[in-house]
Structure 1
Amino acid sequence: MLTFVASSGCLFIRNGSEYPATEARDHLQKKLDYLNKKGLVDSSEDFIARAATESSMSGKPYKVRCNGQEQLSAEWLKAELARLRTTRP
């Protein structure tokens, strides 16, 4: 999922500020590392729900803007996860 984020070319909106995809990936990696140390991530769904859905500081949802369209990051990542699972043998 983190590789998908970094290579997406989308803008990430976190607490009202926009960040390029590579910075978003780095931020999510830090959150994932923290959650892994606490034993709180066992699946891609856990990653999305606990690290990639909202700011742990403000509670505001993360958003992405791809090709001029804005959506919640959780929905965007869930769609990619579903796509990956249906295209794998």
Structure 2
Amino acid sequence: MRTLNKRKIVVLFVASLMALFVSHPTLASNLTEEQKIERLLQIVAESDLVFIRGGNEYGPTEASEHLRMKYNQVRSRIDTAEEFIEHIASRSYLLGTPYYVRFSDGRTVESGSWLSQRLREIEADACCEVPR
């Protein structure tokens, strides 16, 4: 009987912690997937990177506009920011070739990797913001 009560207490404690984590604004991300996608597009537009698509180089504004145009065409089929990165912002739909970003130091990485890292930062920041 005593073991059963201890189990109930542990289960209730764990359930309470989980409820707190999900409902507390400083612990749970309060951004919608649409807001995350918009933030990714903003990060692209405000960056100082060179975006490489189809072997051609584009500035941040052009890159952001291109990604927004692609997103608007298939918006109803994109449910998450991860899907946006995977299906819109990582490669050419027609050629299947990856998009790249080049940093000021000359280093070049695939845009999907770079955007996935930005998304993790967005989610981490959203997790820990205190509502005003």
Q: Same fold (TM over 0.5)?
A: yes
Q: Which structure 2 residues correspond to residues 59-74 of structure 1 after superposition, within 5 A? A: 59-67=96-104, 68-74=106-112
- Secondary structure (helix, strand or coil) at the match of 1:2 reads helix
How far did residue 49 of structure 1 move?
Answer: 0.7
- When you count strand as a share of all residues, which structure comes out higher? 1
How far did residue 87 of structure 1 move?
Answer: 2.0
Q: Which structure 2 residues correspond to residues 24-39 of structure 1 after superposition, within 5 A? A: 24-36=63-75, 39=76
Q: Which has the higher contact order (CA 8 A, sep 6+)?
A: 2
Which residue of the partner structure matches residue 10 of structure 1?
Answer: 49
How far did residue 57 of structure 1 move?
Answer: 1.4
5+ residue gaps in structure 2? 1-39
CA RMSD of aligned residues (A): 0.8
How far did residue 9 of structure 1 move?
Answer: 1.3
Deviations 1:34-89 (A, max 9, x none): 011xx211111011011001001111100000222100000000000001111222
How far did residue 25 of structure 1 move?
Answer: 0.3
Identity %, equivalent residues:
37
Give the 4+ runs in structure 1 shifted more than 3 A: none
- When you count helix as a share of all residues, which structure comes out higher? 2
**Residue type of the partner of 1:73?**
S
Question: How many aligned positions are there?
Answer: 87
Match of 1:21 among 60, 69, 90: 60
Which residue of the partner structure matches residue 121 of structure 2?
Answer: 83
5+ residue gaps in structure 1? none
TM-score w.r.t. the length of structure 1 is: 0.93
**Residue type of the partner of 2:82?**
E
